[in-house]
């Protein structure tokens, strides 16, 4: 919309400048003023192209973990600064789902190296502005490992990986983590619906 208005205004001013130049009786001040107006409008309405974001979909970042919030989100220090990360494809119990939320956070802390780097493969951004990324510690897919240990579930709405689903079935059959007993901890999304913030 802004670009269309800019093009229209530039065209109008250029047309007026051309008409003024064809008339020999016009003052050089009028011609100069119109030329200056074309330049000013172009300068103020032009939106410079932003450089490609290092957190754009498909980008890979090598970062260090600074703070683990819960079982599926943390803050990382990356080359371009601090990045809030929401792990792709999993959903962990909330911190208020005692003791499941705390157990999930501790499991994630154990999987994320505190001094070594992790690799983030950016998949998207969530509604809170966090980078949604598949997270790797060495060759290990950390999200997949959280599901394998029963500390998170597959976030079916966003992750249709057969491997993740199979690992979840195996964790459930082995009664690991959240699967050790029945209850609301087995479906974090259902718990959030029943316990809005």
Question: Among 94, 103, 145, 149, which one carries the catalytic annotation?
Answer: 94
Burial class (CB in 10 A: 0-12, 13-18, 19+), 1: exposed
Q: Catalytic site residue 94?
A: yes
Query: What one-character DSSP code corresponds to residue 69?
Result: -
Q: How far apart are CA 63 and CA 122, in angstroms?
A: 12
Between CA 113 and CA 164, with CA 145 as vertex, the angle to 5 degrees is: 145
Q: Catalytic site residue 172?
A: no
Q: Catalytic site residue 47?
A: no
Question: Among 86, 103, 105, 148, which one carries the catalytic annotation?
Answer: 86
Question: Among 103, 123, 130, 151, which one carries the catalytic annotation?
Answer: 130
- Contact between 86 and 132 under an 8 Å Cβ cutoff? The reply is yes
- Catalytic site positions: 86, 94, 130
């Amino acid at each position: 919309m802004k670009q269309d208005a800019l093009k229209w205004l530039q065209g109008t001013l250029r047309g007026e400048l051309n008409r003024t130049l064809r008339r020999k009786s016009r003052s050089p001040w009028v011609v100069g003023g119109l030329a200056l107006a074309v330049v000013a409008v172009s300068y103020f309405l032009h939106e410079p192209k932003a450089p490609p974001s290092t957190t754009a979909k498909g980008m890979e970042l090598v970062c260090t973990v600074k703070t683990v919030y819960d079982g599926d989100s943390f803050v990382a220090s990356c080359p371009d600064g601090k990045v809030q990360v929401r792990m792709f494809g999993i959903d962990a119990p909330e911190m208020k789902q005692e003791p499941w939320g705390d157990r999930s956070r501790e499991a994630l802390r154990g999987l994320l190296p505190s001094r070594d780097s992790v690799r983030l493969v950016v998949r998207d951004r969530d509604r809170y502005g966090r980078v949604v990324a598949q997270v790797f510690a060495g060759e290990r897919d950390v999200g997949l490992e959280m599901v394998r240990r029963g500390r998170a579930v597959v976030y079916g709405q966003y992750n249709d990986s057969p491997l993740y689903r199979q690992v979840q079935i195996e964790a459930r059959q082995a009664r690991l983590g959240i699967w050790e007993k029945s209850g609301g901890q087995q479906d974090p999304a259902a718990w959030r619906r029943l316990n809005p913030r």
